[in-house]
Amino acid sequence: MESLIKEIHKNIMEGEANDVKENIQAAIDAGVPVSEILNEGMIAAMADVGRLFEDGECYVPEMLISARAMQAGLVLIQPHLKNAEVESAGKVVVGTVKGDLHDIGKNLVAMMLKGAGFEIIDLGTDVPPEKFVEAVREQGAQIVAMSALLTTTMPSIKNTIDALNAAGLRGQVKVMIGGAPVTQKYADQVGADGFSPDASRAVATAKSLLKM
């Protein structure tokens, strides 16, 4: 089974979407735990792509092709993250902040929350503060979940919290944040209610924010 995980890792790094799908399906059929496929095969591959980019050994087009292969694989993973809960655990507005186009982590967080019974309103990427505000107001969401992958877009988190404050909505909505450069310290600094370093712990964070 280790070889299938290695293949998935390699397929994502090489951006071979069809092979990714084939090998993920084979791993699922062989009973490999989905968490293992996700963490050791898929997420680890994206981290390695990032390292190659940092070292100047791959460029934006290659990162994009790997990201597409990753997204293709996530489609197969998604049904396995669902559980049997039927009653909504709460409404969550999810989005990647203004100026930021990275959506894989945000999509994973949304998938995990959905699997745990939360209702998800996904605003996509490059979401300006006013769009978060509008969604909270119109949807009556209990949580705003923001993702930021760039150090340059982290200030958009604070701008969104400020906008929620200015709109008088901050008292009725919890804010949770995450993304590679985001830390608990940063969450405390900007006045977010919760932080989580990865998608699975995001579920525990969301539940604790709603005291579930």
| 176 binds ligand B1M, rule: CB under 6 A | yes
Q: What is the DSSP letter of 195?
A: E
Residues 6+ apart with CB under 8 A from 60: 53
State which of residues 16, 32, 37, 102 lies at the interface with ligand B1M (CB under 6 A).
102
Would you say 42 and 107 are in contact if contact means Cβ atoms under 8 Å apart? no
Write down the least CB distance from residue 193 to ligand B1M, Å.
Answer: 11
Write down the least CB distance from residue 75 to ligand B1M, Å.
Answer: 14
Give φ, ψ of 122 to 5 degrees.
-95, 115
Would you say 37 and 78 are in contact if contact means Cβ atoms under 8 Å apart? no
State which of residues 100, 129, 132, 164 lies at the interface with ligand B1M (CB under 6 A).
100
Could you give the strand order of the β-sheet that contains 143-147, starting from the edge strand earlier in sequence? 119-122, 91-96, 143-147, 174-178, 194-195
Residues 6+ apart with CB under 8 A from 58: 49, 52
| 9 binds ligand B1M, rule: CB under 6 A | no
Which of 117, 178 has the CB closer to ligand B1M?
178
How far from chain centre, in Å, is Cα 11? Answer: 21
Question: Segment contacting ligand B1M (CB under 6 A): 21-29, 73-81, 105-113, 183-191?
Answer: 105-113
Token digits of residue 48: 């390695």
Question: Segment contacting ligand B1M (CB under 6 A): 14-22, 79-87, 159-167, 194-202?
Answer: 194-202
Q: From residue 41 to residue 80, what is the string marking binding to ligand B1M with x (rule CB under 6 A)?
A: --x--xx-xx--xx-----x--xx--x-------------
Residues in contact with ligand B1M by CB under 6 A are 43, 46-47, 49-50, 53-54, 60, 63-64, 67, 99-106, 108-109, 145-147, 149-152, 176-181, 196, 198-199, 202
